[in-house]
Chains A and B, each alone.
Chain A
Amino acid sequence: MGEAITILGDIFGSPTIYGSAVRLGAFLAFAALGELVAEKAGTINISVEGGLLAGAFGATLAFDLSGDPWAGLSVGMAAGFLVSLVQANVSHRLAADQFVVGITANVLVLGLTGFIDAAVDPIGARVSVISIPVLVDIPFIGPAVFGQTWPTYLLYPLIPLTWWLLYRTRWGLEVRAVGDNPRSCDVSGIDVNKRRREAIYYGGLLAGLGGAFLVLGQTGSFDSGSVGGRGFIAIAAVYFGGWTLRGALFGALLFGLADAFRLALPVLGYQIDAQFLAALPYLMTLAVMYFITRQFRQPAALAQPFIRRRW
């Protein structure tokens, strides 16, 4: 028991863990924000994994060609958007099953990025850390939140922006309505599948940006395995957070913290089973889904395709 307290003290006393948690959590948060919007519209967009990977690769490629991180970020976003374009149009214009399309898109992106990477081998880089003056001096959270590589800061305005889009615009109202009661929306003249496609596009843009952030703000290089299923953790975060904005962000940060522990423990000299920590986000999400999901308000038409039919 005493040993456990020492361990916890060591872990939480180490300042690097917070920075690392924010970094890893921010990556998940980019994807989770977009996925939240898509799920609010009633679609489960499992190609978010592919969007992240495409974003990471697009950013590396563009950065290598131009040397400009902004070009990297934009091309990363565009690559993520491209994936969502496939997902949205094949599953919500043509009526193919969204999971089928999502899985296929993920396999396709994995293959394409790996193939082009092998042929071109672009070199990425990590951009510089920019500390925001004054704010970075806040004890504990200051360096973690305001002492990161600058693309991290793109996440912060996106949070209120996403909130505003979802809850303060006509478009957001329609997106949420489409996710709850598509048939009524259809009757009142909202193009259900169009709103769903748009929501998926938003998810794709953010996933692409998240992937670009992964390379430019975090790892500095592209690797096919660098996303490694974390897109699914982002989906898990949305479920975990009960389809609320702050819940999804909390989930992303929590899962980022678990990831940070996994990376930090060996450095601190502890032999704790890394596998358990790696499995933790999935286990927690499964537990949350089993025990408390129903208390949250799940979009009523989540994962149900909309097809107008004659009655």
Chain B
Amino acid sequence: MRSGAPEPSPRGTLPAKADARSELVWLYVLTIGATLAAAALLIVATGNSVADVARALLDGAFLAPGRRGDTLKIAGPILMVAVGMVIGVKAGFFNIGQEGQLLVGAMAMALIGTKIAAPGPLPLVGGLVLGAVAGGSLAALAALMRFRRGVPETISTLLLVFVVYQVIGYAVTTAWFLGDPDPRVPGRITASAPLTEEARLPIAWLFGEEIHFGFPIGLAMAGMVTFFLSRTGQGFKLRLLGSNPDVAHQVGVDRSRFGTMALFASGALAGFGGAVMLAGGASGFRLTTGFSTEVGWQGLLVALVARSNPLLCIPIAVVFAALRTGGAFLAATGVDRTIVGIVQALLVLALLIPPAVQSARHHRTSHHRFSGWLFARTGAGSGTGRNGQ
């Protein structure tokens, strides 16, 4: 195949690094261009104008009054979910149940915020903490199944989402649990009572925009996770576990301990995001059956697009949030807002394919150590956990 190449270094040298890099750039240009072209094609095919749609998206996301605040407001929880996903992925565990973890976090917040009347910041802080614990515990349940019985965490976290959907449905329709006791509220059989005033997040005003506290908290978390992963011993061990389980085992990194920790943290961030969403006023400070509005799934996609780089998650979370809030303005143009989901998914594929093309080519000639989990997790670290008890 490749002749006269040097002995492969641990990272696997490409024949010519610069060539490979420019090829990568071209591939990105190609795939992202194709994404935009496909979206434009769909818009034109339904008899609408691309410029109108772009205008509506921009208005809805940033330009119209109050929209910047709304965009950042939803970006906060999305960012938290994404950052949580990053922790799990870095440790080699693929938690895809954030939607459920977010919902149990919100449920914990709702329990504290509607049942407990305490003065001061106690209900808010208590609800947020308990939300994180609830989300983390749900993910830890998957970790328990993984490390005790080898049940793949990908499947268990996914299945748990659908269990949680039903738990939420039960909670908000049941009077003793979370159902709204006030008979005058329309639709109360599908929504909880609203949070008490004490349990709501304060709102700051900045440049005439409502700035929701969730986003700065999300930023702080992204910073903390970056610091933890890149600057602490525990973070190093965690990454080692994900990138080279064999070596991790040899240097004594306890797989089940670190794995449980990573999954707990990943779920806790999603749960915290759910609690923040509720305390920040999502669906009128009430927990409802459709409360999560796919924030969990979108946070997951953000982490994928950001290649599990927690800092890169920040701009991408804002872009995804902007597509959401922009999508709300699409009705006026006559374009269905499902276009937003299409663009998001295509964007993930567009960013996924170029490195996968290169790695597929690369794998034929050199060692498998190619950066990151995005490409096939090889050997002992992957899959069913059968070899990783």
Contact = CB atoms under 8 A, between A and B. Distances in A.
Nearest to A119: B46
Nearest to A311: B367
B336 interface: yes
B359 A95 contact: yes
A294 B151 CA distance: 9
A301 interface: yes
Given A46-B158, A95-B360, A108 B349 contact: yes
A104 to B, nearest CB: 5
Interface string B151-174: 110111011101101110110010
A293 interface: yes
A301 B167 CA distance: 34
B94 A99 contact: yes
B44 to A, nearest CB: 12
B152 A276 contact: no
Nearest to B152: A303
Interface string B327-357: 0000000001011111111101100110011
Contacts of B74: none
A42 B304 CA distance: 23
Contact of A289 (B156, B170, B336, B359): B156
A115 B349 CA distance: 18
B159 A236 contact: yes
Q: Dominant SS at the B interface?
A: helix
B159 A282 contact: yes
**Chain A binding surface, main DSSP class:** helix
Given A93-B360, A108-B342, A100 B304 contact: yes
Contacts of A236: 159
A289 B166 contact: no
Interface residues of B, number: 64
Interface in A272-289: 273, 275-276, 278-279, 282-283, 285-286, 289
A266 interface: no
B301 A96 contact: no
A90 interface: yes
B297 interface: yes
A81 interface: no
Given A104-B348, A235-B155, A286-B160, A307 B149 contact: no
Contact of A275 (B94, B166, B363): B166
Contacts of A99: 94, 96, 154
A185 interface: no
B155 A289 contact: yes
A303 B383 contact: yes
A95 B375 contact: yes
B167 A303 contact: no
A296 B250 CA distance: 31
A110 B341 contact: yes
A96 B169 contact: no
A83 to B, nearest CB: 12
A286 B161 CA distance: 12
Contact of A111 (B338, B352, B357): B338
Given A232-B158, A286-B145, A96 B167 contact: no
A111 B363 contact: no
Contacts of A95: 356, 359-360, 363, 375-376
A158 B96 CA distance: 32
Contacts of A229: 162, 165
B220 interface: no
A278 B304 contact: no
Given A94-B353, A115-B336, A285 B297 contact: no
A301 B383 contact: yes
B162 A275 contact: no
A298 B150 CA distance: 11
A118 interface: yes
Nearest to A279: B166
Contact of A104 (B148, B167, B352): B352
Contact of B145 (A273, A275, A290): A290
Contacts of B386: 298, 300
Q: Count chain A CB atoms within 10 A of each CB in B159, B165, B338 and give the residue with the most.
A: B159
Interface of A: 44, 46, 86, 90, 93-97, 99-101, 103-105, 107-108, 110-112, 114-115, 118-119, 229, 232, 235-236, 239, 273, 275-276, 278-279, 282-283, 285-286, 289-291, 293-294, 298, 300-310
23 contacts: A44-B155, A94-B357, A95-B356, A96-B352, A97-B375, A99-B94, A101-B352, A104-B352, A107-B297, A108-B341, A111-B339, A111-B340, A114-B336, A229-B165, A232-B158, A235-B155, A275-B167, A278-B165, A279-B163, A290-B145, A293-B149, A298-B386, A304-B377
Interface of B: 8, 42, 45-46, 94, 96, 145, 148-152, 154-156, 158-160, 162-163, 165-167, 169-170, 173, 297, 300-301, 304, 336, 338-346, 348-349, 352-353, 356-357, 359-360, 363-368, 373-378, 382-384, 386
Nearest 3 CB-CB pairs, A to B?
A111-B341, A305-B376, A114-B338
Given A95-B356, A96-B352, A97-B94, 4 more contacts: A94-B357, A101-B349, A235-B155, A279-B162
